[in-house]
Amino acid sequence: MGRLFGTDGVRGEANADLTAELALGLSVAAAHVLAEAGTFAGHRPTAVVGRDPRASGEFLEAAVVAGLASAGVDVLRVGVLPTPAVAYLTGALGADLGVMLSASHNAMPDNGIKFFARGGHKLADELEVRIENLYEQHRGGEAWDRPTGAGVGRVTDYDEGFDKYIAHLMGVLPNRLDGLKVVLDEAHGAASRVSPEAFARAGAEIVTIGAEPDGLNINDGYGSTHMERLRAAVVEHGADLGVAHDGDADRCLAVDHRGEEVDGDQILAVLALAMREAGQLRKNTVVGTVMSNLGFKLAMEGEGIDVVQTGVGDRYVLESMKEHGYALGGEQSGHVIVLDHATTGDGTLTGLMLAARVAATGRRLADLAGCMDRLPQILINVPDVDKSRVGTSAELAAAVADAERELGATGRVLLRPSGTEPLVRVMVEAADIEQAKAVAGRLADVVKSALG
């Protein structure tokens, strides 16, 4: 079988790909691997377990809790909370392991399992490989070594998690939001209680949409992947800005007072300038990915701020930040990591900090986001090609070189093999959208002919 773990945990259709048996087995395997790695040495281990509101999360949570307790791990069950809240509580409570059940922005039939190490950081790749290998070994029939009697784990509902996380958010907010009117789109997801409570405590007047989860409606027409309702609501209510999360609230996108979308690159740019002003932008650097809009890079360079680019995925952004000591990084999709206050993307924290900048400066979000010009970006997916030959085709290399010469310093070409599908993504940026479309179309044709 293929690898279970992707770039963001294990994910699949609940009760088809992601079954109760798989959830239980992976949890037992995780407990054994962490015990062998010395994480539990000298004390009784504890895990924090949370989930988003998906109906399937109810039985998957039960399976994870059963697996951990059967392996001798005490469990603090925090219920429905955002992914970054589970990561925060894992660190704040001194737990040895955190587990979040969510498929993020995916549609309701899917679910996922994400493990956090001590401190609330994502598990290292090598630990995920060991967990998967041990799971496969025991799935083949080998019996687990299980504790009995007082050695089994105990399960406790930790209802204080909600207030503890809210208090953390309030503690890191740079200033209050009094006088701001904010529309919040919660995607009927994990932040449906947390985000409105946080913004209200910070002093904002709030309007909420997509904040009535029923287990089946998560991400359905609401949230950061469906911005239309938020854009309309901001204009309808005369709000200063709107904030959209995804199902597990590790993302944040925004809308200005005109109903115009403010993407992750623009949010990063606004926060980078705010943090530099406050003396918090370590090494005068912000981390993005190769998919960050060229306009973001040009704007930061114009402000004298360095930009480091990583591969696509917030885990690669985080790895670069931790390795080099950077304070801010993120993705165009709205994963924004403020490493002094969070170990993963935190949509509620990002939204609060963005709103705080609006409140502190007295400027419109549209004006603040205008610190960068988003260059037109055209993305074409070319299916049914040999993506492994992207870096070796002379014909394709020549076509890319021609395109780069045509675009000059105000344009960019990126060819990226998909990590999960047999296709190549062709991305072109240019100052003029018609030029971007023409160049992307020509390159897509070459990809088809050269790699088909």
Residue 348, both tokens? 């509620």
Q: Give the phi and the psi of residue 22 in degrees, each rounded to 5.
A: -65, -45
248 is in an annotated binding site: yes
Q: ∠ CA 53-57-58 to the nearest 5 degrees?
A: 100
Is 292 a catalytic site residue? no
| Contact status, residue 31 vs residue 80, Cβ threshold 8 Å | no
| Contact status, residue 61 vs residue 101, Cβ threshold 8 Å | yes
Helices (H), 107-178: 125-139, 161-172
* Contacts (Cβ under 8 Å, ≥6 apart) of 172: 340, 341, 349
Task: Find the helix packing angle between 83-92 and 347-361, rounded to 10°.
Answer: 100
250 is in an annotated binding site: yes
Q: Give the phi and the psi of residue 150 in degrees, each rounded to 5.
A: -70, -10
Beta strand 253-256 with 285-289: parallel, antiparallel or unpaired? unpaired
Exactly one of 102, 104, 224, 292 is catalytic; which is it? Answer: 104
Which of helix, strand or coil describes residue 18?
A: strand
* Contacts (Cβ under 8 Å, ≥6 apart) of 220: 107, 108, 188
| Contact status, residue 310 vs residue 289, Cβ threshold 8 Å | yes
| Residue 268 CA to its chain's centroid (Å) | 14
104 is in an annotated binding site: yes
Backbone region of residue 362 per phi and psi (left: phi > 0; alpha: psi in -120 to 50; beta: other values):
left
432 is in an annotated binding site: no
Q: Which residues are annotated as a binding site for Mg(2+)?
A: 104, 246, 248, 250
Report, as residue numbers or ranges, the catalytic residues: 104
